[in-house]
Structure formats: structure tokens, C-alpha cells
Amino acid sequence: MSILDNLNNEQRLPAETSEGAILVTAGAGSGKTRMLTHRIAHLICDLGVSPERILAITFTNKAANEMKERLEKMASIDGMWVCTFHAMCSRILRRFIERLGYTKNFTIYGDVEKERLIKRVLESKETNVTADTIAWHISNAKNHLRSPEEYAEFIPYDKKREIIIACYTEYEKEMKRCNALDFDDLLTKTYELLKTCDDVRDYFQDKFKYIHVDEFQDTNEAQYLLVKLLAGKYGNVFVVGDEDQCIYSWRGAEAGNVVDFTKDFRDCKVFKLERNYRSTKKIIERANTLIKRNQNRLDKNLWTGNDEGARVEEYTTYNDLEEAEYVAGTIKSLVQNGGYNYRDFAILMRVNALSRVLEEKLITYGVPYKVYGGFKFFERKEVKDTIAYLKIISNPADDDAFIRVLGFPKKGIGDVTVNNLRLLALDGNTSMFNLMQQGQYLGETLNKKLAPVKALFDDLIAARDGMGLYDFVRFVIEKVGIKEAIGNKTEDDINKCLNVDDFATSVKEFEDANAGATLEDFLQGITLMRDIDTLEDENNFTSLMTIHSAKGLEFKVVFIVGLVEGLFPLSRAITSATPNELEEERRLMYVAITRAKERLYLTHPRTRFSFETKRTEYCAPSRFIKESAMDYIEDLDSSPVTRTRLEINELRSSADRRDRVLSAASKVNILKPGAGLNATTTAASQPKPAGKYKFSDFVKGTRVRHPHFGEGEVMLPVTDFAGAFVTIRFKSVGIKTLSLKYANLEII
């Protein structure tokens, strides 16, 4: 009996092909890791290959450990290398790096050490180019194996190019002097070693007779060239990947490596794993329809033997507040009535700036959640940095906030200066801010360093009295230059700037719902909200995450939110001169869809408040909704779980618009000082509708009459901190959500 007997035919064919170059294009949920581990075990147990002759490369330490655990259950793997690219390279360099002029005890610099060195390099330069920008360019150059001289020819000429190349050159000299390598160096130096030292290359080419690479679509140029070098003697290289799931081009991954593999290894055998074991037929059909629009891919078509499953549900809401309420309410309903646990749900976002409204509504509905792979909204650095300025304006005695202010944006004030100021404040029994304002005890040098900070706060404080809360917060963000300090070079930069914008939006929503609210009211409100803990069971929570964080995971129920043009796909992808960025956005949507096992929800708000234009703007639905087939839209009446479908039409009455405003206030009321912070909403705790009826009278199926819209049927009653509402399907105007307090409904 062979180890491969446990595989299906589709998985077995590539696993039992032991010689030559092999590419396995494995669709989402197709069991590729199972196939890969069984192939390695087959080589050892069935074919008698020594584990020392086998190399298996993964992309994360977690994946490497999981692969080891699986293999150890099937075979003895003593001496086998199962590791990440960086771990493999580090191991090689520890033995042979002296050939490159380094010593074996070299230090590996992480992001913190790398940033610190770049800042030292920048100190001698008169430039406004940030350390983050320099770091990105250095990493980009090394991912493509380009020296400073080669990179100078690669990047377009502008006024920044000279400073970038100068910093890169000096950075490399400093790294060599310190006998240090960064993570990118682990790849580039290993490639240089193997390329220039014939005996070292021969040794490792002979050692690794069988090479395996998982998640091959995530390889960058340096990693791919390393694989080609190592496979140079035997050519037995087995790669598994899915170009449709290549979503990391912003950090160097190249989807084209999968396609190029078939060209670079001429006798390459290509196998397809197209059977999906994860999702229902309806979900797989939607994923296939979408991804076929991409051009830079190998042809494959996912299929599944699973049930048809529920239809993919698409919902349009008036704004992001209603979108969040719909998501939170649906989760609550499915847990209470549908047999699900909170851990079965994931809410996926293109950018993490969307999480604020969602977090607030999850709290309102008592849904325990965890922000996966990041911080909750008000705990994110860029948001806390912004809040720090507001705290100082509100309370100048807050030394912790003042220290944070001194650190962002960079003001040339180091830790030593900050500590000296803190000690002087302690000695004088005053605050650091007050000491700065007085100035007479600081000395000429310290006063000079703090003068721009003092001038800035003089301007901010002077402007406060003449502005409303939102206008003032917007003024602070712009005056301080918070978004400019963050930059917009990387994906992470864009996310951070969007978070700052959404923070400003939260202020506007709070001000709109709380007439006469002060800065102190707002700060108190968000503090109270941040203190709420909804995690009753630490192992039973809904996951809130970006799509990038969701790769490799699966959930019974998935919500993909914020499906509007400009957010998903991002604006820069829409306007890009090449189709590459838009294709990556489409791959990202494909990854999001294929995380779902049983149910998939696509949500689209019609309007969002724009920080840039300072007004509420119409949002066109994401093209990915239409591209992934509109056939699979859940009919609300046939849905097995009660839910809200909030649709907008141009004939909305003024009364209905007022209802929407009241609904929007539901979120900010949990921020209002003194408001109830009970996470679970009940009808008894909510305002009652006016007139002769009670909220409990409006159950699903109740026939009602509206003075303007005529007869209709109640689809879903819902309450929140703002009041009591019902969603009704009217014969004349379709679906509307109305406030019972103002709608003047009559039960018939």
C-alpha cells in the first residue's frame, strides 16, 4: 500500500511524478498542502529517498511548522530542510558568508534596526524624503537583485532619485561596516554567493535533489532565481501555486512567475487541482466567473462536489452606517436562529479604515469580535497620534499625550530631549506642555527645539473657539500635517491615511448626532467605547480583518463589505496605465470570495462621507459585483433567516430621509457621555413608537398601511439606541426602512 492511496486521482498524479520540473496550479481549497506533504512522504517511504536530499520551502514559519507536523506523522524526516526562504538563506550564509567578506556572526537587522540606520543616513542629507520611502526603495531594489547603480537606471528620474540612490549606497556601506544583513539581504547575498562561488553552488545543487516550493505565486524575482539556481543540476523542482491568489505584488510577489515557470523549465509537466473541498457550488461559480476576466493566468476552472448551497447575497444600503448595522444584525440573527457560533463569521475589508463603523455596530448588537492581524480602530497608531493632539488641546497637563505629540510627525526632538523635559517638569511640579509654554526654565537650546511645537499649538488653540467640532478636528489634521507625515507610497501608508480620514468622519457623525457637543465630550465618548469588552468567550468571536490577512483561512459565513468603486478596487488600480493593478484587485476579490464555505454576503453602501470633499458622496457599486455574476442575488422573501435589505430610490420622501438621519445617530449615541453602554439591545430598552401601537406589534409578516406608500408587509423589525424601526416591502415603492416614531403606520 502506498502513502498516495489517500489522495484522489487529481492529487495523486503530480504526487507520484518524482522526476523533472513540475508545476501544480492548485485552486483555492483544493487540498494542495495535503498533496504536497504526501508527495514528500512518498519520496521517503515508497522510493527510499534520503530526507537530507529533500528541500521544502514555505512562506511562513507557521506553515513550515505545520508541514513538519504533518510529515512526521507519515515518515521520518531527520535531516530534511523544511523552512522559509529566509531561514534557508540564513542557514546557507552562516556557513559560507565569509566568501562575501562578512563574518559568520553577522547580525540580522529587523525593521526597527533598519529604520534606525536609514534615519542616521538621512541626518546628513537636506531632504524631505522620509525614512519609510527610502526603506521601500531599498527593499524594492533588492527584491529585483539591483545594486544602487542598477537601481538608478531602473527608477524614473525625478528630484528624489538622487537622494534615494545616495541613501541606498550609504546604507549598504554602513551595513557592511556593521557586519549586518537585513531580511532582503538574506536573499540577495545567498544569490550572490551561489552565483559567484562555483563550489558552494555545486554543493547545494547536489544536496537538494528534490526541491519543493509552496505558495509559489508569492515568490519575488530574487526567490525565483534562487530556486532556479538550486535546481540547476537535477531539475527536480516541484512548485505549487495559484496565480489567481497572488495578492502581494506590493511587497515584491510576481504572479508572472507561475506562467514563466513553464517557459524556463521546458520539459515542465503541468497539473491542475481544480476540485474545491471548501465551498458550495454557488460560491465557486461566483469566484470562477470573476477571475476568468484576468488575462495573466493559466486556464483552470474550480469545481466542487459540495451542495449547491445558499445563493450569494448582495445588499445595497443607504450608507456605511446602515451597512454595518445590516452586517451586525445578520450575524446576531444567524447565531440566535440559524445554528451558527460567532467564530463561524468573518467580515472582510479591502482597507482596515472601514472597521470603525463595523466595530461600533458589533458592540451595539453585542457581537463579540476580534480585529485579526491588526489593532481595533481607536488603537491604531495613526489614530492615537491624531487623538494625542486633541487631548493636549483639551488637557495640556496630559504628559503622555504630549510625549506622543513630540514623536509624530518627526520634529528632530530625540528621546534625550524628551526625557530632560520630563525631568524638569517633575522637578517643577508642572506639566511638560506648561513648561514649554513658560520657557524660562528650559535654556536656549531646548527652547529653540520646542519653538515650532509651541507656535503650532498657539495656532491650534487660537483657532478652536471659532470653529465647530468637526471643522476644528479637520483643521488640526491639516495644520499638523498628519497625512503628509504618513505618506502614500505603500499600501500600508494608504490604509493609515484612510484611517485618519475615517477618524475625522467619526467626529462629524458624533457632532451631527449631539448638538453642541464639545471636544471633551467626544474624547470621553471614545474612551468609554474603547473600554467596552464584548468578548464573553475568547474562543468564540467574529473575525474582522483585511482580505490580505484572510489568505489561507476559511469561514462558514463571510461578509465582504465596502464594495464601492475607489475602495475596492482602489482608485489607483482603476486609473493605472497598465491592467496589472486592476488584475491584482480582482485576484484579491477572488481570495475573499473563496474564504466562504456556506454563505457569502456582498454589501455596497450607496453613499459615504468624503474627508477630501467634506460632503456625503454617491458611491458606485464595485465592478466586481457585476463581474462575478449578478445572477446569484438572494430573494429576500425566500431567505431562511430574517434580514434587512435597505434599498435606495430617488423618490425617497423627506420623512424617510429624516428616518435615515435618526438611524445614523444610533452609532454615535454609544459614544455620547452618559449613554447606555449595554452591548445587547432589547426592545424594552428602546424608545417606543408613537401612537396606539407597541414595537412588539410589528412582527415579521404583519400587514401595514402608510399614508404615502400604501400597503405593505413587515419584513424585519429592529431596534437600536436611536429608536425602533421596521423594514417593509410596499407594493408601490418597494422596500423601505422607517422609524416607527414618525412613520404613522396603521396595522391592517
Task: Supply the residues annotated as catalytic.
Answer: 32-33, 214-215, 245, 595
DSSP 158: S
Compute the distance between CA of residue 192 and CA of residue 225 in angstroms, rounded to an integer: 11
CA distances from 716 to 329, 340, 601 (A): 10, 20, 18
Give the angle subtended at the CA of 391 by the CAs of 388 and 392, to the nearest 5°. Answer: 90
SS3 category, 644:
coil
d(CA 8, CA 21): 21
Count other C-beta atoms under 10 Å from residue 331's C-beta: 25
Q: Rounded distance, CA 663 to CA 679, Å?
A: 17
In the chain, the amino acid numbered 258 is V
Helix (H, G, I), strand (E, B) or coil at 626: helix
Output the furthest CA–CA distance in the chain (Å, rounded): 92
Report the interhelical angle of 355-364 vs 654-669 (nearest 10°). Answer: 80
Q: Mapping DSSP to helix (H, G, I), strand (E, B) and coil, where does residue 348 land?
A: strand
Question: Rounded to whole angstroms, how far apart are CA atoms 405 and 491?
Answer: 24
Nearest-angstrom CA–CA distance, 315 and 625: 10
The CA distances from residue 702 to 87, 322, 695, in Å, are 64, 23, 12
Among 66, 50, 56, smallest CA distance to 87 is for 56
Please report the DSSP string for 83-105 in residue order. EEHHHHHHHHHHHHGGGGT--TT
* β partners of residue 120: none
Task: Give the SS3 label for residue 737.
Answer: strand
Backbone angles phi, psi at 440, to 5 degrees: -70, -15
DSSP state of 421: H
> What nine digits make up the cell of 207?
544536496
Strand partners, 510: none
Q: Are strands 555-560 and 345-349 parallel, antiparallel or unpaired?
A: parallel
Residue (of 191, 276, 200) closest to 590 by Cα position: 276
Q: Which residues contact 426 (CB under 8 A, 6 or more apart)?
A: none
Q: Which helix (H) or strand (E) holds 713?
A: strand 710-720
Distance CA 481, CA 458 (A): 16
Task: Write down how long the chain is.
Answer: 748
Q: C-alpha grid cell for residue 359?
A: 466595530
Cβ neighbours of residue 463 closer than 8 Å, sequence gap 6 or more: 472, 475, 479
Q: List Cβ neighbours of 652 (8 Å cut-off, separation of 6 or more).
A: none
Q: Which of 681, 271, 671 is nearest to 508 (CA)?
A: 671
Exposure letters 193-220 (e unless 16+ CB within 10 A, then b): bbeeeeebbeebbeebbbbbbbbbbbbb
Cβ contacts of 397-400, under 8 Å, gap ≥ 24? 397/431, 397/433, 397/434, 398/431, 398/433, 399/425, 399/431, 399/432, 399/433
Do 691 and 741 form a contact (C-beta atoms < 8 A)? no
CB 58 within 8 A of CB 214: yes
Distance (Å, rounded) from C-alpha 602 to C-alpha 625? 8
Burial class (CB in 10 A: 0-12, 13-18, 19+), 62: exposed
